[in-house]
Amino acid sequence: MDQDFGLALPAFPVVVSGPSGVGKTVLCRRLCDSLPRMVRSISATTRPPRPDERDGQSYFFWNETRFRAEIDRGGLAEWAEVHGRLYGTPRSWLDERLAAGESAVLNIDVQGGLQVRTVYPSALLVFLLPPSWGALEARLRGRGTDAEEEIQRRLRNAEREIRVLPRYDAVIMNDRLDEAAVDLISVVHGERSRTSRRIAPGWEPPPRRKG
């Protein structure tokens, strides 16, 4: 809070979406490391934890009964089923972060991004694009971890996701990682500077101190 003019640093969800292989994870990490009061969102999932994962830090590990109950009562900002497991963002956790003045960064697909926009109209939706289809395919193949069938599935998903681009607020092309990180940080910083976000209803400037 600016003590002289009473301008609060706004807190809002920041959704980062884009095709698999476009660099979402590393760019979200750089965003959180570069701007104050930015935190990585923690998802809930029904998959079992891996040896190095901790509940409440890596994920919230829920059983399917609890997850379905949260869906029914509207307790998730977004959710999806991926390879037979459920993933979603708990609204209670997100609301706590926003109330504390922290902007949560959600690395999620476009389906989840549009769900978040419905629940939180103030959310900022940023789409990451590869410089070309060829570059995206090269990145997927360069991982050396996916079979050809999986690579083709990810490319088909990318075609579907990119069609949603016009419904997002900003688009950033990740050709060079450092430049894309600067662009993402600048978009979020600029959004924080909007008067519509910083000035509360009924705001008036304080009287100027004389002498």
Confidence grade of residue 8 (pLDDT, cut at 50, 70, 90):
confident
Does residue 203 fall inside a structural domain? no
Would residue 142 count as lying in a domain?
A: yes
134 within domain boundaries: yes
Task: Read off the pLDDT of residues 46-68 as tens digits, 9 standing for 90 and up.
Answer: 999 999 999 999 999 999 999 99
pLDDT at residue 205 is higher than 90: no
Give me the domain span that covers residue 136: 14-41+102-198
Mean pLDDT of 73-102: 95
Residue 51 lies in a domain: no
> How many structural domains comprise the chain?
1
Cβ partners under 8 Å of residue 110, min gap 6: 17, 127, 161, 164, 167, 168
Note whether residue 84 is domain-resident: no
pTM of the model: 0.90
**Number of separate helices (H) and strands (E) present in the chain:** 8, 9
Give yes or no for a contact between 67 and 88, defined as CB atoms under 8 angstroms apart.
yes
Percent with pLDDT over 70 in the chain? 98
Please give the pLDDT value at position 82.
83
The answer to whether residue 208 is domain-embedded is no
Helices assigned H by DSSP within 35-146? 64-72, 91-99, 110-119, 133-142
Domain with residue 192: its CATH number is 3.40.50.300
Q: Kindly report, residue by residue over 110-152, the tens digit of the pLDDT.
A: 999 999 999 999 999 999 999 999 999 998 998 878 888 889 9
pLDDT at 59: 95
Q: In this predicted model, which residue has the larger pLDDT, 98 or 4?
A: 98
- Decide if 129 is inside a domain: yes
Confidence label for 161 from pLDDT (cuts 50, 70 and 90): very high
Residue 29 in any domain: the answer is yes
Q: Is the pLDDT of residue 1 over 50?
A: no
Residue pLDDT, tens place only, 16-26: 999 999 999 99
